[in-house]
Amino acid sequence: MRRQLCVFILSASMLTTIDAIAATANRSNIPEVKRVVNDADKPPTVKVPRISSVSNFAPIVIGDKDAALAPVKSANYFELIGAIGIASLNAGNSHLGVTSDEIDKLVPTNNNNWNTLSAQLGIGYVFNLRGAQRYSDQVQWFPSIEPELNVYYLSSNSGIKGSVWRFSDPSFNDLSYKIPVHSTRLMLDGALTVASLRQFSIYAIGGIGNTWNRVSYKDQNNENIDNVFCPTQERFNFNSTTRSRFAWEAGGGLNFSFNSHIGLGLEYLYANLGKVRTSAGGNLGLLTEPLIAPAHFNLDSQSVLLSLHIRF
C-alpha cells in the first residue's frame, strides 16, 4: 500500500513538471522550443499520394477470360468481281434438215475440250449473318450470303466440232462440221459462304438469267478422204446468228483474303445455256432451195475462273 502511494505521488509530480515546462515554452521567445512543443501536441499525419486521373492506372487482368474481347460483328460491304479462266463447251447431238429426203445427224466429238476463253465482271453485296467475325480463329458455319449481278462471256472460234452423218447413217461420215460459239449472259447469282477460317472461306453459288448465244456453221471434207458423196462445192457455210435464251448456273469455290479490301478466288461454274440454233442462210453450195431445218442443239459449259475481289 505504501509502495503504490509512492508511485502515484511520483506520477503526479512528473505531470506537473511537464505542464510547467509547456507553459514556460509558450511564454518563451525561442521558436525552436515552441515548434517542438506544438508538434508534440498534434496527432500524426499520413501523406496520401495524389491521383491525377483514373486513366493512369492499367487494368488488372485476372485471367484469359477477362482479357478476351467480345465478338464484333463484321460490317456488310460491296465488292467488285473480275475473273478470267478457261471453259469447256458441251453440245448434244443435232440434226440438219438439208432436204425432205436428206436429214443429216451432227455428232459432236470435242466435248470436254478446255479450249474456250471464259471471263466474268460483276458486283455483289455481302451480308454477314449471326454476328460473323472476320478472320476468326474458329470455324464459322454459314457466316455470310452475297447477292451478285454478273456478266459472263464465253468465246471459242473452234467451238463445237463433230462428224456429219449424212442421211443419219454413220457409214456416210465423210464430212466434219465446226460451230464457233460466242456467248454472253447476264445473271443474278447468290453466293453462300459455307465455312470460313481465318482468311479462307469456301462457298456455293447459283443463279438464273439470260444468255445471248451467237453461232455460225461450216462443214468440210474430212482430211485424207476423197469425198465422192459431197463434192467440194457442196460444203455449207451458214451466216452467224444470235438468239436469246434462259440460262441457269451452279458451282462453288474458295476465297482467300489478303486484307479487308482485296481477295482472290478460285471457282468452278457449270452453266446451262439453253438451246442453240444456227442460221439457215449463207453459202448453201449446190442446193437450189433453202434448208428445211437448221441445226439446233442444247449447249452447256464448265468453267474454271480465277477471280479478283475488291471490297469497299
Q: Angle at the Cα of 177 (from 171 to 178), degrees rounded to 5? A: 155
Q: How far apart are CA 182 and CA 215, in angstroms?
A: 7
Distance (Å, whole) CA 180 – CA 214: 8
Q: What is the pLDDT of residue 61?
A: 40
pTM for the model stands at: 0.72
At residue 233, the 3 state secondary structure works out as helix
Run of H or E including 161? strand 140-165
Please state, in angstroms and rounded to a whole number, the distance separating the CA atoms of residues 87 and 118: 6
Query: Are 106 and 164 contacting, i.e. CB atoms less than 8 angstroms apart?
Result: yes
In the three-class reduction of DSSP (H, G, I as helix; E, B as strand; rest coil), residue 297 is classed as: strand
The tens place of each residue's pLDDT in the chain, 312 residues long, gives: 444 444 444 455 554 554 554 555 455 454 544 454 455 455 555 454 454 444 444 444 444 443 333 444 678 999 999 999 999 999 999 999 888 888 999 999 988 889 999 999 999 999 999 888 888 899 999 999 999 999 999 999 989 999 999 999 999 988 999 999 999 999 999 999 999 999 999 999 999 999 999 999 998 887 644 555 555 545 788 889 999 999 999 999 999 999 989 999 999 999 999 999 998 887 777 676 777 788 999 999 999 999 999 999
**Strand, helix or coil at 181?**
strand
- What's the rounded Cα separation, in Å, for the pair 151 and 207? 12
Q: Catalogue all structural domains in the chain, each as residue range(s) with its CATH number.
A: 77-311 (2.40.160.20)
Q: Residue 36: which residues within 8 A CB-CB, separation 6 or more? A: 25
Beta bridge partners of 252: 204, 268
- Taking phi first (over 0 means left), then psi (-120 to 50 degrees means alpha), and beta for anything else, what does residue 198 get? left
Distance CA 196, CA 200 (A): 6
